[in-house]
Chain A
Amino acid sequence: MMSWLLVMPIAIPFATAVVAYLMRMSDAGRWISLAGSALSLLASAALMVAVLERGVVAAQMSSWDAPFGITLVVDYLGAVMVVITAITGLATAIYALGEIPARLEKLGYHALFQTLIAGVTGAFMTGDVFNLYVWFEVMLISSFGLLVLGGSREQLDAGIKYVALNLVSTLVFLSGIGLLYGVTGTLNMADLRDAVANAENQGLITVIAMMFMVGFGVKAAVFPLFFWLPASYHTPSFAVSAVFAGLLTKVGVYALMRMFTLVFVGDIGFTHEILIWVSALTMLTGVLGAAAQTDFRKILSFHIISQIGYMTLGLALYTPLALMGGVFYLVHHIIVKANLFLVAGVANKLAGHTDLNRIGGLYKSSPLLAALFVIPAFSLAGFPPLSGFWAKYLIVKAAIELDNWLIAFVALFVGLLTIFSMTKIWGMAFWKPHPDGIDPTPDRVPDKVRIPMMIPIGGLAAMTILIGFYPEPFVQFAEVAAAQLLDPTDYVETVLGARP
């Protein structure tokens, strides 16, 4: 029965995609998509309960024993990622009720969206490297479709860059898989841990580790592999860019965390040292890139990059505290960043544009939206007592404990520059009057569109506040997750002992 708990969060979105596609010509499609998202949230919550009881849950597909069959395995980190994926999916499914026009629905928006969620969930749950590649591809092909759906010139331009760089990264990852199989003869992650540690040619293992780092690095958008992200994330519809911003890069970070704690730990002095400097440069270039932009979504896109730096830093420092901070950051950031993109969508609907020079006056006419912007924005910058403060605090404290003062300084400095960007958005979009003299009151948008768009924003902001004011259970959860990452004995034993 345990195996079905693991299957459902993947199977439900797939089934929803099929039904939603067949119903795409009528209004039923969007409600099916919404119901499917709600069901997957229930399924992932059930999975979370099982993980809280047992620590690690694993199952073999098709009754083939590990390490030969495909393993689905979820530990604390995997479980929280699956749940947060379902939450983001539900939030954007509600948002899409208001935002996505019937024209895009008829092209199969909901089917692509649900396939994307299935791909992301699968990537978080799989315990097999080649299967991870397959989930990456499921995710990629549906994200390609969503990115260019509608087919404006900007989208096609962005699509070309996104597709090109992501395909190269996939092929680097695939070659890495091939070499890893050649050296170890297995692709099951739990089995790989011992196989890699006992491999004769440790130099080759480090080379393979670097191929994985480059492959996942492009997905996670770390320095200097991030160029596809700011070139593409500001072009699709807002619900799509919120899902992309919240989830897609995080799959890269998750894969890095998984592989570089479970498998590639033989040469930490080399691989993780590289990651430290990559993280520092990622934080800096992201935040400096944002300072030069004036488009709402472009600023946010560059901030994704700078925030990715914090998460990989948590992995790179490789102490219990740092990893705990990394896990906490991952969860906090998905909620906050998806929410900011959703706010950008409402701002666009009200004020008519995303270029900050061409909008304004939102504070005066929509104070509710302004308040809902301030919560995730300040959380992103790390203001106490919002969720981002605790995330940054844990990472910086971990850096200081290692006497790595330069990194701690960079992390704090980047936080400061983040405030600068957020106040820029605040000043230009919310505070100054609208340049065209328009009064962007909420009445400009019909209730049928506005209310579904505001509900998820309010919900996600409430979660940010909840994590901010009651961080203890979340921090404790992250602590167990980090302990499991650093000592994966439980993970390995559960997978290899998993009966089909």
Chain B
Amino acid sequence: METLTALIIGVLVAASVYLMLARNFMRFLFGLILLSNAANLTIFASGRMTPGAPALVPYGEDTPLGVVGNALPQALVLTAIVIGFGLLAFTLALAFEAYRRLRTMDSDKMRYAEPKEERE
């Protein structure tokens, strides 16, 4: 299971690097999404993969019964997913607004913030 997860993370990172090297900002953004998923999987795999029940405390008990999964990486991943979702949604909105105003997605052509004489 760990090997499989490691391979998936590797493929995700490779694909995201390939996408992020593109000039088109949308492809960069897709690469970023893949990279964010790879990071989340890394955290999840770091909590060790064990077959176990969800870490829920039954009614009337103080601790969970039997073998339960490690709950901490799940909490971390959930936080990371939520934050990543917010940031990527913002980035998408920014990319859309930039496309509307700058009329380009090509990062080589985005030179409005650079000194004028270099633009030609």
Q: Do chains A and B directly touch (beta carbons under 8 Å) in the complex?
A: yes
A residues lining the B interface (CB < 8 Å):
130, 133-134, 137, 140-141, 144, 148, 151, 153-161, 163-164, 167-168, 170-171, 174-175, 177-179, 181-182, 231-232, 234-235, 293-295, 298
Q: Note all chain A residues with C-beta closer than 8 A to B107.
A: 160-161
State how many angstroms separate the Cβ of A290 from the closest Cβ of chain B: 13
State how many angstroms separate the Cβ of B100 from the closest Cβ of chain A: 9
A154→B112 contact, CB < 8 A: yes
B91→A163 contact, CB < 8 A: yes
> How distant is the Cα of A182 from the Cα of B46 in the complex, in angstroms?
4
Instruction: State whether the Cβ of B65 lies closer than 8 Å to any Cβ in chain A.
Output: no
Is chain B's binding surface mostly helix, strand, loop or mixed? helix
- Which of A157, A177, A178, A179 sits near B113, CB closer than 8 Å? A157
A175→B42 contact, CB < 8 A: yes
Given contacts A164-B28, A181-B47, contact A157 B102 (CB under 8 A): yes
Within 8 A of A (CB), among B22-61: 25, 28, 32, 35-36, 38-40, 42-48
State how many angstroms separate the Cβ of B85 from the closest Cβ of chain A: 11
- Most chain B CB within a 10 A radius of its CB, from A140, A154, A182: A182
State how many angstroms separate the Cβ of B87 from the closest Cβ of chain A: 6
Known contacts A160-B98, A177-B76, A178-B44; 13 further A-B pairs (Cβ under 8 A): A133-B80, A154-B112, A157-B98, A163-B91, A170-B87, A171-B39, A175-B38, A178-B42, A178-B46, A179-B46, A181-B46, A181-B47, A232-B113
Please name 22 pairs of A and B residues whose Cβ atoms are closer than 8 Å in the assembled complex, sorted by A. Answer: A137-B87, A140-B87, A141-B87, A141-B90, A144-B90, A153-B112, A156-B102, A157-B111, A160-B94, A161-B107, A161-B110, A171-B36, A171-B39, A174-B43, A175-B42, A178-B43, A178-B44, A178-B76, A181-B43, A182-B42, A231-B114, A234-B113
State how many angstroms separate the Cβ of A196 from the closest Cβ of chain B: 15
- Which of B36, B45, B76, B101 sits near A153, CB closer than 8 Å? B101
Q: Note all chain A residues with C-beta closer than 8 A to B46.
A: 178-179, 181-182
Q: Note all chain B residues with C-beta closer than 8 A to A175.
A: 38-39, 42-43
B32→A182 contact, CB < 8 A: no
> How distant is the Cα of A38 from the Cα of B38 in the complex, in angstroms?
42
- Most chain B CB within a 10 A radius of its CB, from A159, A175, A182: A175
Instruction: State whether the Cβ of B14 lies closer than 8 Å to any Cβ in chain A.
Output: no
Q: Note all chain B residues with C-beta closer than 8 A to A151.
A: 97, 101
- Which of A156, A163, A168, A298 sits near B20, CB closer than 8 Å? A168
Q: Note all chain B residues with C-beta closer than 8 A to A160.
A: 25, 94-95, 98, 107, 110
| Number of B positions contacting A (CB below 8 A) | 39
Given contacts A134-B83, A181-B47, A234-B113, contact A167 B32 (CB under 8 A): yes
Q: Note all chain A residues with C-beta closer than 8 A to B80.
A: 133, 174
> How distant is the Cα of A155 from the Cα of B83 in the complex, in angstroms?
23
Query: What residue of chain A has the Cβ atom nearest to residue B80's Cβ?
Result: A174
B residues lining the A interface (CB < 8 Å):
20, 25, 28, 32, 35-36, 38-40, 42-48, 72-73, 76, 79-80, 83, 86-87, 90-91, 94-95, 97-98, 101-102, 107, 110-115
> How distant is the Cα of A160 from the Cα of B114 in the complex, in angstroms?
13
Q: Note all chain B residues with C-beta closer than 8 A to A159.
A: 94, 98
Q: Note all chain A residues with C-beta closer than 8 A to B91.
A: 163-164, 167
> How distant is the Cα of A137 from the Cα of B83 in the complex, in angstroms?
7
B113→A158 contact, CB < 8 A: yes
B102→A153 contact, CB < 8 A: yes
Q: Note all chain B residues with C-beta closer than 8 A to A158.
A: 113
Query: What residue of chain A has the Cβ atom nearest to residue B16's Cβ?
Result: A171
Query: What residue of chain A has the Cβ atom nearest to residue B75's Cβ?
Result: A130
Q: Note all chain B residues with C-beta closer than 8 A to A174.
A: 36, 39-40, 43, 80
A235→B113 contact, CB < 8 A: yes
A156→B32 contact, CB < 8 A: no
Q: Note all chain B residues with C-beta closer than 8 A to A298.
A: 115
> How distant is the Cα of A232 from the Cα of B94 in the complex, in angstroms?
15
A148→B87 contact, CB < 8 A: no
B98→A156 contact, CB < 8 A: yes
Query: What residue of chain B has the Cβ atom nearest to residue A231's Cβ?
Result: B113
State how many angstroms separate the Cβ of B48 from the closest Cβ of chain A: 8
Q: Note all chain B residues with C-beta closer than 8 A to A153.
A: 101-102, 112
B115→A294 contact, CB < 8 A: yes
> How distant is the Cα of A170 from the Cα of B86 in the complex, in angstroms?
14
- Which of B32, B76, B83, B113 sits near A164, CB closer than 8 Å? B32
B35→A168 contact, CB < 8 A: yes
Q: Note all chain A residues with C-beta closer than 8 A to B79.
A: 130, 134
> How distant is the Cα of A321 from the Cα of B32 in the complex, in angstroms?
41
Q: Note all chain B residues with C-beta closer than 8 A to A155.
A: 113
Q: Note all chain B residues with C-beta closer than 8 A to A157.
A: 98, 102, 110-113
State how many angstroms separate the Cβ of B28 from the closest Cβ of chain A: 6
Query: What residue of chain B has the Cβ atom nearest to residue A159's Cβ?
Result: B94
Query: What residue of chain A has the Cβ atom nearest to residue B36's Cβ?
Result: A171
B94→A144 contact, CB < 8 A: yes
Query: What residue of chain A has the Cβ atom nearest to residue B110's Cβ?
Result: A157
Q: Note all chain B residues with C-beta closer than 8 A to A177.
A: 43, 76
Q: Note all chain B residues with C-beta closer than 8 A to A181.
A: 43, 46-47, 72-73, 76
> How distant is the Cα of A460 from the Cα of B38 in the complex, in angstroms?
44
State how many angstroms separate the Cβ of A381 from the closest Cβ of chain B: 24
Query: What residue of chain A has the Cβ atom nearest to residue B29's Cβ?
Result: A164
> How distant is the Cα of A298 from the Cα of B38 in the complex, in angstroms?
36
B45→A182 contact, CB < 8 A: yes
> How distant is the Cα of A294 from the Cα of B118 in the complex, in angstroms?
13
Q: Which 8 A-B pairs have the closest CB atoms?
A: A182-B46, A178-B43, A178-B42, A157-B112, A158-B113, A157-B113, A174-B39, A156-B98
